[in-house]
Amino acid sequence: MPEHVIKNIIDLPAGKCRVVHACGTEVVIFSHNGAYRAYKNECPHQGAPICGAFEARLEPQHIEPLRGRRPDIVRCPWHGWEFEIADGVSLIDPAIRLRQYPARECGDDLIITVEPD
Ligand code: FES
């Protein structure tokens, strides 16, 4: 599977996201709790971009802090479906999830592995 290097990922502040393109796929990178998560920038419901436009900012209302059993989430801007940032699993149906891509840090950069659709 093709690997793509995202330069200077360390410049992405915590709680924000960056949209990149790899293999013709729009990928959103979340910086969250000291780690980076890479997902296809497409909600599995009706295809909304889960992180808006290029260099979009993950607004505070799209992240819910840990409260009791409730995990940190990203909330789709169209109809409000919620997914755990950590693994992309839907809170209402664990069978539904964001498409996640492997991501690993390499110095200041992030390497993601994206399968073409
Ligand atoms: S498109 Fe995401 S909840 Fe409907």
- CATH code for the domain in which residue 55 is found: 2.102.10.10
Measured at the CA of 14, the angle between CA 54 and CA 113, to 5 degrees, comes to 60
Q: 19 lies in which domain range?
A: 3-113
Residue for token pair 């492997």: 102
Q: What is the pLDDT of residues 75-99, one digit of tens each?
A: 888 888 888 888 999 988 999 999 9
Ligand 1 and 98: CB distance under 6 A: no
Going by pLDDT thresholds of 50, 70 and 90, the confidence category of residue 61 is low
Cα–chain-centroid distance for residue 53? 13
- C-beta 81 within 6 A of ligand 1: yes
pLDDT of residue 57: 46
Report residue 46's pLDDT band, with 50, 70 and 90 as the boundaries. very high
Number of structural domains the chain divides into: 1
Look up the pTM and report it.
0.85
Does the CB atom of residue 7 touch ligand 1 within 6 A? Answer: no
pLDDT the model gives residue 60 = 54
